[in-house]
Each structure stands twice: as structure tokens, then as C-alpha cells.
Chain A
Amino acid sequence: MTQIRAVKLSKQFKTKVVLNQLSFTLTDGVVGLLGRNGAGKTTLMKIIATLLRQSSGDVFINDIPVTKVKQIREMIGYLPQDFQFYNNMKVNDALIYLGLLSEMPLAALKMRIEILLQRLNLEQYAHYKIKELSGGLKQRVGIAQALLNDPKVLIVDEPTVGLDPEERDNFRRFIGELGQRRIVIFSTHIVEDIAHISDQLLIIDQGGLIFQGQTTDFSPEREALEPKYLALIRGDRHEAF
């Protein structure tokens, strides 16, 4: 069982407060991180992923503070918004390269890549160059690289942007599967993306946490999630709950 715990987490860029005293606890399963554009979702994920330092407060993964960069990075997989990689590199080579940078032994890495390519239906694209892939395939490669080290925490930042409806649906289902044995933080501003797969919800607005809990507590009916969320961020708490 993995746990992420944030205690009074704040982040400030010069005078702008991006995250303000966030405290929450997350456990295994898909966590829908919802919020408008500019709400602070990416900043929060980057702090958890050790790509940014918090201004104050703490975040722990399994009681290890995120300031212990090496230990935290061993536990996380990260798919940035709009996954890009060296365009002329072949999929297989890119995964080997990224795996080697993750300090994985070559033999084990090759086996892991084979399994991941199979699971993600990417086998036939292994020798394609990254630039030859569609948006959906590229995202799948992005997920494959994030899963190379079999992470306890998977962080995916707006992964469905630019995907066609079918690709989006496939992608969401796959993320749902991944959430069965790890924490998957799925950041999005599109409620539909997480409506059917998220177990927990984190909703932030203007840097503040406005909801944290089980998705079913927020909206017992999955179909009602979107209107409730919209009501909440518009400030109508009565309608939301």
C-alpha cells in the first residue's frame, strides 16, 4: 500500500501564490486531480515528482519527504503534459535510453520493455521513429517509459489532450487498470476523463484545496460528477453537495 501525504503544502513564484496550504492524503487507486487551467495542478504534480521545490510545508511518499530526491524518484513514474522525445529516435531505443538513465540493468530493461510494448499494443511500432507516431501512440510510449521502473506512484499530466475520442477512451481504461496496484495521479480539467475511473478526487482552485475524498463521496452517481464539479468551482457549494 502506497501513501502520499501533503502537510500545509505551499508554493509561491515571486509574489504569486500558486499553492496555498494544501493538506491531503492519497492511497492506492486512480486519483483524479481536477481544476481549471492555472489552478496549480501541474505545480502540485511537479512538487510530488521532485521537479519543483515547495516554498513551505511537506509532502511524503510512504513517509519519505520529497526532498529525498533519489528515493522518491525510485518510486515514481511521470508522464508530462504533451509527451515529447527525440523525434528521430526509434521507440525501442528511446525506451532503452530512458531505462538506462533510470539505472536499470540492460538485460532486465529489455525484458521489461518487451512486456510493456506487449501490454500497450506497441510491439509493431517498436522500430518506428517517435516522429512517425500519432498522438495516441506517442502517449502510449509516454506511459511505457513512465512504467519502466514499475513505479509505486504514476503521475500523468493532462494525458488525453490532443487524442481522438477512441484513443482517449482506450487511454482512460488503461489508466484505470494501472490504478489497481499503485497511486495514479491523473491531472485533467476535463471531468469526463476521470469520471469513470477515479477512486479519489482532489479538486483545487486558485491554489487552494476545495475537495479531497472518495469520488463516490463527492458524487455517488458518476454521471453527476461534472455538474457537481462545475457548481463547486463556480462557488455554489450547496448545489455541489
Chain B
Amino acid sequence: MKLFKTELLLFVKSLTFIAFCVAAFAFYFTQYQGNVNRQVAHFQENTVYNPDNYLMRPRPGSNDYGNTAQTDKRSVMKNALLDLQQEYQNNTFQTRPVMFVKNVHLKQTDKKKVDQIFKHLTDQSLTTFTPAKANWSQLDRQVSYSRFKQAMGKIDHIIGGQSAYVPNQLFEFGSGKPLSYTAAKHAYQKKMRIDRVSRNFARLFSDYLGIIMLIFSVFPLILYYTKAQRENCQELLDLKLKPTWQYLGVKYLTTVLVLYGFTLLLSIFPAIQLLKVGRVLQLSTDGWAFVKATTLFVLPTIMFISALALVLTRLFKPVITMAIMVVFGIFILSVTDIAGVTTWSPLMRFNGDSNWSTFASLKQAIYLNRLFYIGLTLILFLVAVWLKSRQRRGAYGQH
């Protein structure tokens, strides 16, 4: 316990950890809490009904009750094909590799391949295609949605990936139908029954905190794991009798618990805020929603990132480890669907109001994913212990 306390102080009293807390808090506050505050404030002011406000109960007499979820496949197909035609004509396809926008210009041979795929879908060539003359109402009868997704996947591949035609993101081309008061009321009742006021916000919270942990936490983690090395006392510590698994275990546990604790701490304010909102709405609120979401979505990410840092710091110098982990984090962020969990990714994303459906439809895959990353964490930890034991026994020549 005393050893854990010392390690805890070493970690939390470091300047890098304090800087991490400030940066993480700023990110959380501007990206997440600001949004929650706005919704709560607007809801409390009790002004005109706003369908974008998750908490507001629909009232009769409003002009706008929002739209249905974007599942209208016909409009998804139509809008996607229209966009494709536009990009094809300009021969400029926008992609977003590693979060940055990149314009791709295709060679003639690749353009021909895209045209061929388009022809299979619409029986028309992109060069002669006239949107006004197209029979859009027949499109979804002519081509099944799964075939359409497959075809778009091929086009995405030709463009080089991360384009607007990634099959799992095609729904973004969709446009919902306007909701009536009754439909909006039912939708509201359903989401409040399922999400019990706070769960949607809790998932969104874990979405932001997941990003923070994936990218920002890398710095305090690496600097803490290499502190002894940087302060020239690694040799001295290596000589001590504590078994390596315990020596690294205490350090690892410290980082995981501190980062998890930090996440829980940040969740207290929105959790209390939403409990109050639930009371005003006279709805049953899930008071543990943030703890549950944090434990399920953020904790395994923290465990994995910490274990990865532990292994990499055994192999590389701190600066190189930082570079590897930041690039890895940005890569993961760029390839993970923003509101549709990418089942293999260490990051769980629920950015959007409809995140209940995402969670519900992928519940099993999410649990599997989390279990996989916990398992991977264990393997990484064992690898770190093996590497460190060899190092402690002078297996690497010059110490």
C-alpha cells in the first residue's frame, strides 16, 4: 500500500500529469460539457421547443419536431450517387486519411473502373449520366442496399479509402422525413424509457474521454514509465528484490486507477446535472449511467493504452515511443466510425443523439471488443514483464 501511495504521488505530482489534466479538462469542457450545459440551460429556460435538444419534451403547436433517423435507404443511395457523379466529373475525390482532408485525382484506368461499377448499379455511364432524367424511385428496386454498399466499398477502395463512400458511413447521405407531434412524443418517451435521461449523455461522455485517453494520456504515461531512466536511477531500482511483475504491476495499476479516477471525477458534474434534470422531468434517471459507461467504454481503453505504453517504453526511447503512440492514436481515431462503433477498434465512439441504436445493435460486439482488449492488455503486460526481467538481469549488454 505504501509503495502504491509513493507511485501514485510520483505520477500525479508530475508536471506532465498536471498539464494532461488541464488539457483534458479544457477539451472535455469545450467539447462536451459546453454542449450539455447548453441543452440543460435551454431546457430549463422552458422556451420554444427545439427538436435538437435531447432533453426537451415535444409540445403541441411547434413547427418543427425534427426528422426520422437517417435510415431512408433510397435517399442514401440517391445522394451518394449524386455526390459520386459530382466528384467524378471534377475528378477530385475527397478523402480523410488520419483526420486530414486529402483530394484524390484518379488515373484514367481507375476512373474507368469507377464508371464500370456505376454502370452496374444504374445501367448508365457516369460520363453521360443526367440526374434529372434518372428514375430514382426505381433505384432501390433495381439494386439491393447490400449490393449498393458493396459497390460503394469497391469505389472507396479505388479512391484509396476513407472517402465518403465507406460502406458503414453511407447512412450520412440519408435524409430523414419530418416527424409529427405524436411521432416525436413517442420517440421521446421511448428514448427516455431506454436511456433514462442520462445514458445517452454518459455514452457521449465516454466517447470524448476515450479520445482524451487515447491521445492525451500518452504523454504522462510515457514520462512516468521512463522517469527512473530519465533521472538516472533505473540501475539502482533494477537491483532491488521486488519481482518484476510486482514492480511493473504497481506502476501499471497506478496509471490505470489514476486515469480511471480522473474520468470518474469529470463525470460527477454532468451526472448530478442530469439527475436534477430527471427530477424536473419527473422521469426515472440512471444515476450510475456515467460510472457504467466509463467502466465499459473508457476503462478498457485506458488499460490497453497504459499496457501498450509499458511495452513500448521497454523497447524505445521516450520521444520515439511518444511519436509511435500519438500516430497510432490519431490513426485509430481516423478509422473509427464517429457514431457507429468500429468493432475491432480500441476506441468506442458514440458521437450523436442516436447513439442508443448504435449501442443496442452492437451490444454483443462491443462486449466482445472490450473483453478482447482486456485480454490483449494482459498479454502486453506479460510481454513488458518479460522484457523488463531480461533487462534487470543484464541481458542487453551495456546497461
A-side residues, CB < 8 A to B, are 13, 46-47, 49-53, 69-70, 73-74, 76, 78, 80, 82-89, 93, 96-98, 100-103, 106, 145
Cβ of A98 and Cβ of B236 under 8 Å apart? yes
Q: Closest approach, in angstroms, between the C-beta of A220 and any C-beta of chain B?
A: 37
Give complex CA distance A53, B228 in Å.
22
Contact assessment for A53 and B239 in the assembled complex, using a CB-CB cutoff below 8 Å:
no
With A88-B13, A97-B3 as known contacts, state yes or no: A78 contacts B231, CB within 8 Å.
no
Between-chain CB contacts (< 8 Å), 30 pairs: A50-B239, A50-B393, A50-B394, A52-B397, A52-B398, A53-B393, A53-B394, A70-B241, A73-B239, A76-B239, A78-B236, A80-B235, A82-B232, A83-B236, A84-B231, A84-B232, A84-B233, A85-B231, A86-B228, A86-B233, A96-B6, A97-B3, A98-B237, A100-B3, A100-B6, A100-B242, A101-B237, A102-B240, A102-B242, A103-B240
Contact A96 B399 (CB under 8 A): no
Cα–Cα, bound, A186→B397 (Å): 23
- Give the residues in chain A near B115, CB-CB below 8 Å: none
Report whether A93 and B394 are in contact in the complex, using a CB–CB cutoff of 8 Å: no
Q: Which residues of B contact A78 (CB under 8 A)?
A: 236, 239
* Cβ-Cβ contact count across A and B, 8 Å cutoff: 75
Asked if residues A51 and B240 are in contact (CB atoms below 8 Å), the reply is no
Do A46 and B394 contact each other (CB < 8 Å), given the known contacts A100-B2, A102-B242? Answer: yes
The answer for the CA separation of A97 and B397 in the assembled complex, in Å, is 27
Binary per-residue interface labels of chain B (1-15) against chain A in the complex, 1 for a CB within 8 Å, 0 otherwise: 011001000100100
List which B1-54 residues lie within 8 A (CB) of chain A: 2-3, 6, 10, 13
Q: Which of A49, A53, A76 contacts B395 (CB 8 A)?
A: A53
Count B interface residues, CB 8 Å.
Answer: 26
Partner of B227, one of A70, A86, A97, A103: A86
Kindly list chain B residues whose C-beta atoms are within 8 Å of the C-beta of A101. 3, 237, 240-242, 247
- B221-237 residues at the A interface, CB under 8 angstroms: 227-228, 231-233, 235-237
Q: Mask for B232-276, Cβ within 8 A of A = 1, else 0?
A: 110111111110000100000000000000000000000000000
* Chain A residues within an 8 Å CB radius of B10: 86, 89
Instruction: Determine if B393 and A102 form an interchain contact, defined as CB atoms under 8 angstroms apart.
Output: no
Q: Is the CB of A51 within 8 A of B6?
A: no
Closest Cβ of chain A to B353, distance in Å, is: 46
A103 touches B241 (CB 8 A): yes
Question: In the bound complex, how far is the Cα of B232 from the Cα of A53, in angstroms?
Answer: 21
Given pairs A51-B399, A100-B6, 4 additional interface contacts (CB within 8 A): A50-B239, A84-B233, A98-B237, A145-B236
Given contacts A82-B232, A85-B233, contact A96 B2 (CB under 8 A): yes
Residues of chain B within 8 A of A69, CB atoms compared? 392-393
Residues of A near B227 (CB, < 8 A) are 86
In the complex, A212 Cα to B287 Cα: how many Å?
A: 75
Chain B nearest CB: distance from A154 CB in Å?
A: 12
Q: Is the CB of A98 within 8 A of B240?
A: yes
Q: Which residue of chain B has its CB nearest to the CB of A104?
A: B241
Given A86-B227, A87-B231, A101-B3: A73 and B394 within 8 A (CB)? no
